[in-house]
Amino acid sequence: MGESVVENADMTAGQSPAQPAEETAGDGFVHSPEPVRPRRRRGFALAVAVAVLATAGALTAAALGLGGAEQGGTEQSTLPPATAEVTRGTLKDTESVDGQLGYGAATTATARKPGTLTAGPDTGDRITRGKSLYAVDGAPVTLMYGATPAYRDLLEGVEGPDVQQLEKNLDTLGYTGFTVDEEFTSGTADAVRAWQEDRGLDETGQVPLGQVVFADGAVRIDSLAARKGDALQPGAEVLAYTGTERAVTTELDAADEQVAKEGAKVSVRLPDDTLAAGKVTEVTTVIKPAEAQGQDPETKIEVVVSFADDKGRKAADAYALAAVHVDFTAETREDVLTVPVAALLALAEGGFGVEVVKGSTTTYVPVTTGLFADGRVEISGDGITAGTKVGVPK
């Protein structure tokens, strides 16, 4: 999983990369096999790639002829099978994970008082501020906008952010006679009575728990948990809803939480390979129960990604539900020199090098490695500049 590169990641710590067995020649000496170049695989692997490449260093000493060479290496007359140029640019370490295109994570609406479900929406319906989500005993339960869920009765004398949230909705819906603040005054009660009259509710001037549902904005009905005529008890699930904007939901391992901060920029690859700009809008830690007895629960990071512009939203609208890929950027290095990972060679004295090609000769040059990503590695070393040719396998 991911776009970074792991060198020989199938090895355990301390093991050397797979290579031909050493052979004992007639002179009685043990001869090492030919140089082994790193193999590639995708995944978060900065430390792992470096550690595994280092392990290979002692095993390739004889083949590279660098055991006692001075800095700069030994010139060779045999050219490598292919070459690649050192390039300068931006290197990004990304992790690509599977995601589901839809409308984001669903929220469950539950009954807050006993009664009979007398009306409800259909799956896919969109409900806006001031409209009914469902009805219990003939009384509509109204959707209003706000981040704080309803948790108590609201009546004259009560104070708090939830009061201000209610008053903002009443004001937006056109009711007057009060100040939008955290105090439920007699003016607020009068506005509530006017609203209740318009909704066909008892005109009490109070908003009992269960008469309104607060959501972040307009909602789309995702699924129904109860049917018309069902008896409801407090806490019973009635329906589940999402936002109305297209979004992608995905999961990360808990160890990768650092790449999924709210507001982080990501890329979404749609089924037709269109790349759309995205932004992390919600991050939630989820504990998943053990699948079998004796196993531990699993901690996951659930991430909701929204589309950052109209171009991405329009492209996503071509699909109702679809499997997509989300690329999270773990690290970015700008204006650095890079080569293909396959160009790296392990040196006998430790560390890494590249085979610099000049005309018909080559020189092994020690280099310092940095970020591994997207099949390339950041390097620096004496004489290494953009355009330098290095040896690579075919």
CA 233, chain centre distance (Å): 38
Residue 74 has pLDDT above 80, yes or no: no
Could you count the other beta carbons within 10 Å of the beta carbon of residue 145?
17
The tokens for 163 are 């009061």
Q: What is the DSSP letter of 123?
A: T
Q: What is the mean pLDDT of the chain?
A: 84
For residue 177, pLDDT over 90 is answered with yes
Residue in 192, 137, 135 with CA at minimum distance from that of residue 163: 192
pLDDT of residue 95: 86
The first and second tokens of residue 380, run together, are 């620096």
Task: Show the CA angle centred on residue 222, arms to residues 217 and 228, nearest 5°.
Answer: 105
Taking the CB of residue 321, how many other CB atoms lie within 10 A of it?
8
Give the residue from 226, 197, 24 showing the smallest Cα distance to 108: 226
Q: Which of these, 93, 19, 5, 95, lies nearest to 48 by C-alpha position? A: 5
- Identify the three-state secondary structure at position 60: helix
d(C-alpha 164, C-alpha 214), whole Å: 13
Q: Are 339 and 86 in contact (CB under 8 A)?
A: yes
* Residues 386 and 336 sit within 8 Å (Cβ to Cβ): no
Question: Is the whole-model pTM more than 0.85?
Answer: no
Residue-range domains of the chain with CATH: 23-94+333-392 (2.40.420.20), 96-103+245-328 (2.40.30.170), 107-243 (1.10.101.10)
Taking the C-alpha atoms of residue 88 and residue 394, their distance in angstroms, rounded to an integer, is 22
Mean pLDDT of 307-336: 92
**DSSP letters for 9-70:** TTSPTTPPPP-PPPEE-TTSPEEP-S--PPP--BSS-HHHHHHHHHHHTGGGHHHHT-TTPP
Listed in sequence order, the residues at least 6 apart from 61 whose beta carbon sits closer than 8 Å to its beta carbon are 32, 67, 347, 348, 349
DSSP state letter for 211: S
Mark 22-54 as b/e (b = at least 16 C-beta within 10 Å): eeeeeeeeeebeebbbbbbbbbbbbebbbebbb
Identify the weakest region by mean pLDDT among 155-169, 170-184, 203-217, 277-291.
277-291
Query: Does residue 153 register a pLDDT over 90?
Result: yes
- CA–CA gap between residue 111 and residue 141 (Å, rounded): 10
Half-sphere exposure of 95 (CA within 13 A, CB side): 20
Which of 28-37, 154-163, 300-309 bottoms out in mean pLDDT, i.e. has the lowest? 28-37
User: At 48, is the pLDDT very low, low, confident or very high (cuts 50, 70, 90)?
Assistant: very low
Look at residue 33 in the predicted model and tell me its pLDDT: 38
Q: What percent of the chain has pLDDT over 90?
A: 70
64 close to 36: Cβ distance less than 8 angstroms: no
Residue 42 above 60 pLDDT? Answer: no
Mean pLDDT of 43-60: 39
Residue 24 structure tokens: 């004992």
Closest by CA position to 166, among listed 191, 198, 141, 186: 191
Pick from 360, 330, 370, 388: nearest CA to 78: 360
Residue 369 has pLDDT above 80, yes or no: yes
